[in-house]
């Protein structure tokens, strides 16, 4: 029995021993395979991710914002530049909703800040920017020093040096210069490819927007190695930012100041001054105005927001490039149509009347009695309505439109900020037959009353002050339609691409020029040079226009000087300012004209 037992045990032992190596090998293979698989997953599949996490714990990238190019006036005076400011911000990914109240309270006490404002910026920032939330801008040096002393225990918060756009003259030329604003998350999707960052600012309006690529620089930065406590160990490399390029404008600061001053007592209006030889804009002002520095503010109260964006005064709206009824400043266009068609030649004489009836309406002479029998030059001098009613109705809407188009009306001027300007309206039969922009085609026919109104720039004609300056430049420079511009950029603005000869008889041009000179010598515009000694000869035209939208009359005056070899065209416009161009617009233009003469004679 004993022997049998030994044999039995030996067999069992042999059986167990023979199976153990196989199990052990299988276990080793499984464990080893798991480790290899895990290593493959960590090193190969997820390698870049964990390397990034490791680098982020060891390396900190500090972006360096490029200074935006400066905006300079004609003589190199600074109209816009950039200034440094200290900004308190946080990185949302490092500060949870639970951690924020503790951090907020510490920052509020340490830097003497409002908890309510910090909460407001944090909550709005979390919704709009997952990378960086600006809490406070324009920190004082004392606040920066206090923060730096405690920076190690303020995880997620940081103080950066930021560049803000600065306009040293505040509201001056704001509609020309425009403003910059932080880019949005939506914009970043497309702008990211162009090198923009979420903390970037971009030109929104005016020159800032039109020359964005010229003014904007390229970001730089520094790679820093830090330890586990966030202490900088060393710099691993610096890439200096590339500053944006400066831009010299055609604007003359002194003339711009005169234009702004001329508008100061007006509720709304505009002034444009340009060189008729090249189209260089020397001044362009609009009122009401705004301060573009406002858009560098971090906090905006509801009242501040409403005053800017919801006000009926519309301070962001540039009157210089938006359209209004031109009144009698339009009469040279009608004169051009009369002479160019041959229906009313340059030596024509027409009787004027107290009123002339067209359709069911009697159209009155502005003096209530007429001016006898007169020709073009005297009709311009006294601004006769009934003379130009007859010419306009006689040539018809198509001929009037052709002359207007030759002078640049009913089209954009080509100025750099053309995306903001109105092309205006020159009503005609085709326009009326298509519904006038609001009715069904065929239901709003052109009627005699329309033609009479169009002849003197009322109701169915609307133009911008800039368009009017461009058109009168044709009469000032000998017959060339120029391209208004705000920066020269090395372009030859007298080349055929930018300055085109208007198809007009020399006799037509001369007759209109002579009439505009008579306006100033002995007509409705006589006061423009009154009490001015040793002043060059001036030509011009007054205008009083009914507001087709139902408001009070507009006041206009446009002039150019010197008469024989013009260097300046000035348009003065007072919106909804009853009393006439002679009363309100001439004094405005006179201030700018005097400033121009002082500048040129220095």
Per-residue pLDDT, 49: 57
Q: Is 277 within 8 Å of 492 (Cβ atoms)? A: no
For residue 12, pLDDT beyond 60: no
Tell me the mean pLDDT in the region 97-111.
Answer: 87
Class of domain 59-248: alpha beta
Q: What is the pLDDT of residues 330-367, one digit of tens each?
A: 999 999 999 999 999 999 999 999 999 999 899 999 99
- In the chain, CATH 3.90.1310.10 covers 59-248
Per-residue pLDDT, 7: 45
Tell me the mean pLDDT in the region 160-164.
Answer: 82
- Helix 397-406 with 448-455: angle, nearest 10 deg: 30
Q: Is 397 within 8 Å of 429 (Cβ atoms)? A: yes
Q: Which of 278-287, 436-445, 456-465 has the lowest mean pLDDT?
A: 436-445
Residue 362, SS3 per DSSP: strand
Radius of gyration of the chain (CA): 36
Q: What is the pLDDT of residues 209-263, one digit of tens each?
A: 999 999 999 887 766 676 655 555 666 677 788 889 999 999 999 999 999 999 9
In CATH, which of 3.20.20.60, 3.40.710.10, 3.30.365.10, 3.40.50.10800 is domain 253-296+319-600? 3.40.710.10
Q: Is 285 within 8 Å of 271 (Cβ atoms)? A: yes
Buried b (16+ CB within 10 A) or exposed e, 102-141: ebbeebbeebebeeeebeebbeebeeebeebbbbbbebee
Q: What is the pLDDT of residues 468-509, one digit of tens each?
A: 999 999 999 999 999 999 999 999 999 999 999 999 999 999
Q: Which of 39-43, 161-165, 456-460 has the lowest mean pLDDT?
A: 39-43
Per-residue pLDDT, 86: 87
Buried b (16+ CB within 10 A) or exposed e, 8-43: eeeeeeeeeeeeeeeeeeeeeeeeeeeeeeeeeeee
Tell me the mean pLDDT in the region 102-107.
Answer: 88
Per-residue pLDDT, 224: 65
Per-residue pLDDT, 2: 45
For residue 494, how far is the Cα from the chain centroid? 26
Run of H or E residues at 31 = helix 2-40
Better-scored residue on pLDDT, 100 or 234:
100
6: confidence class by pLDDT, cuts 50, 70, 90:
very low
Run of H or E residues at 374 = strand 373-374
Cα–Cα separations (whole angstroms), residue 139 to 84, 111, 324: 11, 9, 46
89: confidence class by pLDDT, cuts 50, 70, 90:
confident
83: confidence class by pLDDT, cuts 50, 70, 90:
confident
Per-residue pLDDT, 151: 85
- In the chain, CATH 3.40.710.10 covers 253-296+319-600
Q: Report pTM.
A: 0.84
Tell me the mean pLDDT in the region 110-126.
Answer: 82
For residue 113, how far is the Cα from the chain centroid? 35
Q: What is the pLDDT of residues 377-436, one digit of tens each?
A: 999 999 999 999 999 999 999 999 999 999 999 999 999 999 999 999 999 999 999 999
Instruction: Output the six-digit token pair for 333.
Output: 């266009």
User: Which DSSP state fits 463?
Assistant: B
Per-residue pLDDT, 193: 83
Pairing of strands 425-426, 355-358: unpaired
Per-residue pLDDT, 234: 67
208 vs 68: CA distance, rounded Å: 10
Per-residue pLDDT, 219: 81
- % of the chain beyond a pLDDT of 90: 63
Nearest to 560 by CA among 459, 460, 482, 504: 482
Better-scored residue on pLDDT, 7 or 527:
527
Instruction: Output the six-digit token pair for 93.
Output: 């990914």
Looking up tokens 């040793």 gives: 534
Q: Is 259 within 8 Å of 271 (Cβ atoms)? A: yes
For residue 457, pLDDT beyond 80: yes
């Amino acid at each position: 029995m004993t022997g049998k037992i030994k044999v039995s045990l030996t067999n069992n032992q042999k059986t167990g021993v023979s199976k153990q190596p196989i199990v052990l090998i299988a276990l080793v293979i499984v464990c080893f395979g798991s480790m290899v698989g895990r290593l493959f997953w960590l090193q190969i599949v997820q390698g870049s991710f964990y390397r990034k996490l490791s680098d982020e714990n060891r390396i900190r990238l500090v972006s360096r914002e490029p200074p935006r190019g400066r905006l300079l006036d004609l003589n190199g005076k600074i109209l816009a530049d950039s200034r440094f400011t200290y900004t308190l911000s946080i990185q949302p990914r490092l500060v949870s909703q639970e951690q924020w109240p503790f951090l907020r309270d510490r920052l509020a006490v340490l830097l003497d800040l409002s908890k309510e404002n910090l909460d407001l910026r944090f909550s709005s920032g979390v919704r709009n920017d997952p990378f960086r939330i600006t809490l406070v801008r324009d920190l004082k040096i004392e606040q920066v020093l206090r923060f730096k002393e405690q920076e190690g225990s303020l995880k997620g918060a940081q103080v950066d040096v930021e560049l803000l756009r600065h306009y040293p003259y505040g509201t001056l030329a704001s509609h020309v210069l425009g403003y910059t604003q932080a880019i949005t998350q939506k914009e970043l999707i497309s702008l990211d490819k162009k090198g923009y960052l979420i903390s970037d600012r971009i030109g929104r309006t005016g020159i800032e927007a039109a020359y964005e690529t010229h003014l904007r620089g390229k970001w730089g930065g520094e790679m820093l190695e830090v330890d586990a406590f966030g202490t900088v160990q060393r710099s691993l490399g610096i890439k200096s930012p590339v500053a944006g390029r400066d831009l010299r404008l055609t604007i003359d600061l002194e003339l711009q100041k005169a234009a702004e001053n001329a508008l100061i007592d007006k509720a709304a209006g505009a002034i444009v001054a340009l060189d008729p030889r090249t189209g260089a804009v020397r001044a362009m002002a609009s009122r009401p105005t705004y301060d573009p520095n406002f858009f560098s503010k971090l906090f905006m109260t509801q009242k501040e927001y409403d005053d800017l964006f919801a006000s009926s005064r519309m301070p962001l709206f540039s009157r210089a490039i938006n359209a209004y009824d031109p009144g009698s400043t339009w009469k040279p266009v009608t004169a051009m149509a009369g002479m160019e068609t041959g229906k009313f030649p340059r030596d024509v004489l027409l009787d004027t009347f107290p009123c002339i009836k067209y359709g069911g309406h009697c159209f009155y002479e502005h003096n209530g009695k007429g001016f006898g029998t007169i020709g073009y030059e005297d009709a311009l001098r006294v601004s006769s309505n009934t003379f130009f009613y007859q010419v306009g109705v006689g040539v018809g809407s198509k001929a009037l439109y052709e002359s207007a188009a030759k002078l640049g009306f009913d089209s954009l001027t080509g100025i750099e900020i053309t995306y903001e300007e109105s092309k205006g309206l020159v009503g005609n039969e085709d326009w009326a037959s298509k519904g006038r922009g609001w009715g069904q085609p065929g239901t709003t026919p052109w009627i005699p009353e329309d033609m009479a109104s169009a002849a003197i720039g009322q109701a169915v004609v609307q133009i911008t002050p800039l368009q009017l300056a461009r058109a009168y430049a044709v009469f000032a420079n000998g017959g060339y339609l120029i391209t208004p511009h705000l920066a020269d950029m090395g372009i030859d603005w007298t080349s055929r691409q930018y300055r085109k000869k208007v198809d007009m008889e020399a006799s037509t041009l001369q007759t209109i020029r002579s009439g505009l000179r008579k306006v100033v010598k002995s007509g409705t515009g006589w006061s423009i040079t009154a009490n001015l000694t040793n002043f060059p000869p001036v030509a011009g035209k007054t205008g009083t226009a009914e507001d087709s939208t139902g408001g009070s009359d507009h006041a206009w005056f446009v002039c150019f000087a010197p008469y024989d070899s013009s260097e300046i065209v000035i348009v003065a416009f007072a919106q909804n300012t009853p009393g006439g161009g002679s009363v309100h617009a001439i004094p405005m233009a006179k201030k700018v004209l005097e400033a121009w003469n002082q500048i040129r004679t220095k």
